[in-house]
Amino acid sequence: MIYKILKRNTIPVFCICILFAQEKRDSSGQIHPLEKYRSSIHLVSHGAVPAGIAYLIKTENDWKKRALTYLLANLVDSDHFLAQPVYDSNRCSINLHPLHSEYALFGFSLLALNPLTKDVGTGLLIHMGLDYIDCELMQKNNSIQTDAFNEYTLAHFLFWYGIGKYSNLQADEMFAISMVWEVTELKLPFHFAREGWVNKSVDLVANYFGFISGRG
């Protein structure tokens, strides 16, 4: 059982290692080499991350269809045509383009919670999450929750372990709810909700680990 869990989680563990590497700087104070390729990594992530997530949370044999839906959600970037220039690798999209606004995030969250539009909404939230990460890397903002792991990480794991063990919730539903919660935290006026992108990413992975561990 432990071997199966570790094998299945190789991809998310690898992704988290990459995320950490993007934010680290070497001891001399120079920008980490990976950060030089931030814009390229960001563009590739819009293809690799949605497809990888679709595979990891596959419920039966529908992961390819879900992956296609997630990838088509990238068409939300069509609102870039309203900006000048259309593409700027050093420009933060969040709250700049109309379909990347907080109001749009609220709408996408509603789509993710609706069984009929869950995959569309989740795909859009994945896209926004990747853009959010890129914005934080550009701005180098420091949130209060600077540690990747804290007591809330364990709470995430235990909560979703219980959900996985004692409910009939599917993996795709778990991930949709997890994404909506992370978006909701952006507006919550509480200390625990003020966290950076690394902590949010770790929370999502903790949810996944907890859920599949509880599901057995």
User: Tens digit of pLDDT for each residue in 162-216?
Assistant: 999 999 999 999 999 999 999 999 888 888 788 888 889 999 999 999 999 998 8
Of the pLDDT bands very low, low, confident and very high (cuts 50, 70, 90), residue 33 is low
Residue holding tokens 């690799």?
A: 48
Residue-wise pLDDT for 75-124, tens only, equals 999 999 988 898 888 888 998 899 999 999 999 999 999 999 999 999 99
Question: Could you tell me what percent of the chain has a pLDDT over 90?
Answer: 53
**Under DSSP, is residue 26 helix (H, G, I), strand (E, B) or coil?**
coil
Provide mean pLDDT across the span 48-53.
95
Q: Tokens at residue 11, please?
A: 């991809």
Question: How many residues does this entry show for the chain?
Answer: 216
Domain coordinates in residue numbering, the chain: 2-215
Helices (H), the chain: 2-8, 10-23, 38-56, 63-72, 102-113, 118-139, 151-166, 171-185, 197-215
Contact 102, 108 (CB under 8 A): no
pTM for this entry = 0.82
